[in-house]
């Protein structure tokens, strides 16, 4: 069974007309969110590095927009920069089962190739859905727990294949050429979790590199370059090389019976998704019982065991974050700010707030544990249980599905409100209104340039 070929044939057959209304709708839903997240992320210090790189090193005057900038370049470089920028705030979309961020590789690849080659926007919608099918299904099969334990970041690795597919669809490559593009992408799939050691920016680089690499793979395949026939399931292929407990059948299960884009989720908090259910539960219990920080004696948080290596240990680092990346990947910090602020947004994950140390007394009272019973239901449920011991007694709350999950989703109205919050510092409201209108009516546009021209109109950002 050549699962790579089966997956390629499945996504190659996807067209706008073949998709259900829900999948088309989700493509526009996640596209709008991606643009909003990327626009806000332009403010990040790491994003300025990407923009400086593009200014100095990328080809000038190409057809492709670098979001939040007047810079224009070629498709691979636009995808690299936009993908790297979009992942800076940890507010990009996510999946539970495959534990990765699909939009940050799928969207930059799609948008760049769409601007370069001007396909009908209906093809863009089909390409987005196909990209989510690929990155999520490969992420399901590689087993995120084992993939993490081997030191790999699935957003970067699996996203490379998705980018190759989105680019191939927009270039209208044949099934054969698309299969080669997938194979070529496999030799570029990368992403090391070592960034956790010192709060490095390389996690943000991963989706940009994935988007860039996928486009290169598609362009090479278009010229006749060959790739391995079964890059996913072969004996030395991606799954075998990147996991000790993979399930190849997950790549091809139930084609057309459900759509991975409809299983994806929005992140309302500016940190690792492993923290979100705990934040939900903490805010709920604190609001319900009007718990004040000064009356808290101890906080106990239980989460699936997979979370431990990412957001709980090592203890000293997680309870004393030195930079924003450290904070984004600390469950203790997430619960502390949820107690103090009843929030965990960009304000709580800003350098000024981190340096303030106002959370330092409460964070030492927070005990976090991996729970074996919760692990049995992971990754279907990214749940959390929070217990707060106070002078008045013990109060607790449980969350099965964090806010934004496909089973606890943001409505379109909530998503649009989030878009305005995200873009308020960098985008005039009139421009935002028009951007929303164009994305929601994507099928009726003449080209994606009508969207991307608005995504370059930022204000007050040094780029």
Confidence of residue 87 (pLDDT cuts 50, 70, 90): very high
Cα–Cα–Cα angle for 219, 142, 243, rounded to 5 degrees? 110
- Please compute the mean of the pLDDT values over residues 259-266 and round it to a whole number: 97
Cα–Cα–Cα angle for 80, 86, 91, rounded to 5 degrees? 155
* Secondary structure of residue 358 in the 3-state scheme: coil
Task: Report the mean per-residue pLDDT for the chain.
Answer: 96
- Please compute the mean of the pLDDT values over residues 228-247 and round it to a whole number: 97
Q: d(Cα 371, Cα 342) in Å, to the nearest integer?
A: 25
Of 289, 275, 287, 269, the C-alpha closest to 391 is 289
For 195-223, the pLDDT digits (tens) are 999 999 999 999 999 999 999 999 999 99
As a three-state string, the secondary structure of 361-395 is HHHCCEEEEEEHHHHHHCCCCCCEEEEEEECCEEE
Peptide bond between residue 455 and the one before it cis (omega within 30 degrees of 0)? no
Residue 82 and residue 108 in contact, taking contact as beta carbons nearer than 8 Å:
yes
Given a cut of 90, whether residue 462 has pLDDT beyond it is: no
What token pair was written down for 79?
Answer: 């995808």
Q: d(Cα 111, Cα 104) in Å, to the nearest integer?
A: 11
CB crowding 345-370: b at 16 or more within 10 Å, else e: bbebbeeebbeeeebeebbebbebbb
- Please compute the mean of the pLDDT values over residues 114-127 and round it to a whole number: 98
- Please compute the mean of the pLDDT values over residues 354-376 and round it to a whole number: 96
Of 343, 215, 218, 232, the C-alpha closest to 279 is 343
- Please compute the mean of the pLDDT values over residues 111-120 and round it to a whole number: 98
- Please compute the mean of the pLDDT values over residues 377-399 and round it to a whole number: 96
What is the pLDDT, as a whole number, of residue 1?
Answer: 86
Confidence of residue 463 (pLDDT cuts 50, 70, 90): very low
Residue 127 and residue 110 in contact, taking contact as beta carbons nearer than 8 Å:
yes
Question: Largest alpha-carbon pair distance within the chain?
Answer: 71
CA dihedral of 379, 367, 204, 277, whole degrees rounded to 10:
40
What token pair was written down for 107?
Answer: 């969207």
Beta 296-304 vs 384-390: how paired, if at all?
A: antiparallel
What is the pLDDT, as a whole number, of residue 461?
Answer: 56
Q: What is the residue-wise DSSP string for 282-334?
A: HHHHHHHTT--GGGEEEEEEEEEGGGIIIII-SHHHHTS--SHHHHHT-HHHH
Given a cut of 90, whether residue 450 has pLDDT beyond it is: yes
Quick check: pTM over 0.75?
A: yes
Count other C-beta atoms under 10 Å from residue 249's C-beta: 12
For 345-361, the pLDDT digits (tens) are 999 999 999 999 999 99
Beta 72-73 vs 296-304: how paired, if at all?
A: unpaired
Confidence of residue 430 (pLDDT cuts 50, 70, 90): very high
Confidence of residue 460 (pLDDT cuts 50, 70, 90): low
Rounded to the nearest 5°, which phi and psi values hold at 220? -65, -45
What is the pLDDT, as a whole number, of residue 285?
Answer: 98
- Please compute the mean of the pLDDT values over residues 166-185 and round it to a whole number: 98
- Please compute the mean of the pLDDT values over residues 303-330 and round it to a whole number: 95
Domains recognised in the chain with CATH numbers: 3-268+421-456 (1.10.4100.10), 273-399 (3.30.1330.120)
Q: d(Cα 370, Cα 356) in Å, to the nearest integer?
A: 29
């Amino acid at each position: 069974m050549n699962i790579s070929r089966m997956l390629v044939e499945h996504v190659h057959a996807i067209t706008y007309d073949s998709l259900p209304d829900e999948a088309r709708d989700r493509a526009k839903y996640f596209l709008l969110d991606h643009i909003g997240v990327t626009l806000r992320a332009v403010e990040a210090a790491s994003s300025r590095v990407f923009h400086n790189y593009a200014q100095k090193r990328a080809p000038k005057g190409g057809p492709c927009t670098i979001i939040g900038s007047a810079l224009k370049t070629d498709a691979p470089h636009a995808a690299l920069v936009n993908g790297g920028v979009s992942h800076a705030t940890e507010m990009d979309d996510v999946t539970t089962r495959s534990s990765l961020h699909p939009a940050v590789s799928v969207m930059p690849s799609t948008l760049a190739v769409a601007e370069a080659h001007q396909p009908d926007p209906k093809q863009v919608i089909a390409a987005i859905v196909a990209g989510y099918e690929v990155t999520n299904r490969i992420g399901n099969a590689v087993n995120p727990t084992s993939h993490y334990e081997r030191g790999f970041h699935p957003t970067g690795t699996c996203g490379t294949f998705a980018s190759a597919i989105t680019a191939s669809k927009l270039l209208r490559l044949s099934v054969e050429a698309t299969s080669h593009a997938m194979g070529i992408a496999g030799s570029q799939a990368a992403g090391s979790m070592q960034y956790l050691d010192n709060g490095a920016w390389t996690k943000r680089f991963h989706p940009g590199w994935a988007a860039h690499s996928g486009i290169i793979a598609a362009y090479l395949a278009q010229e006749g370059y060959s790739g391995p026939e079964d890059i996913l399931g072969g004996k030395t292929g991606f799954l075998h090389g990147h996991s000790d407990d993979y399930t190849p059948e997950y790549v091809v299960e139930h084609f057309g019976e459900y759509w991975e884009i409809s299983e994806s989720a929005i992140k309302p908090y500016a940190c690792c998704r492993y923290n979100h259910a705990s934040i939900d539960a903490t805010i709920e219990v604190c609001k319900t019982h009007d718990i004040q920080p000064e009356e808290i004696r101890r906080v106990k948080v239980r989460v699936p065991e997979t979370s431990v290596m990412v957001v709980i240990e090592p203890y000293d680092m997680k309870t004393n974050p030195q930079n924003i990346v450290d904070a984004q990947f600390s469950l203790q910090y997430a619960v502390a700010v949820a107690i103090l602020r009843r929030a965990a947004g960009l304000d709580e994950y800003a350098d000024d707030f981190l340096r303030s140390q106002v959370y330092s007394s409460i964070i030492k009272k927070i005990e976090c544990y991996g729970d074996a019973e919760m692990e049995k239901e992971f990754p279907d449920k990214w749940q959390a249980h929070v217990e707060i011991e106070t002078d008045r007694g013990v109060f607790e709350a449980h969350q099965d599905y964090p806010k934004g999950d496909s089973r606890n989703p943001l409505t379109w109205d909530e998503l649009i409100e989030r878009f305005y919050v995200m873009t308020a510092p960098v985008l005039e409201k009139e421009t935002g209104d028009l951007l929303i209108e164009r994305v929601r009516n994507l099928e009726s546009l003449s080209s994606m340039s009508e969207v991307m021209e608005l995504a370059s109109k930022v204000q007050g950002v040094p780029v």
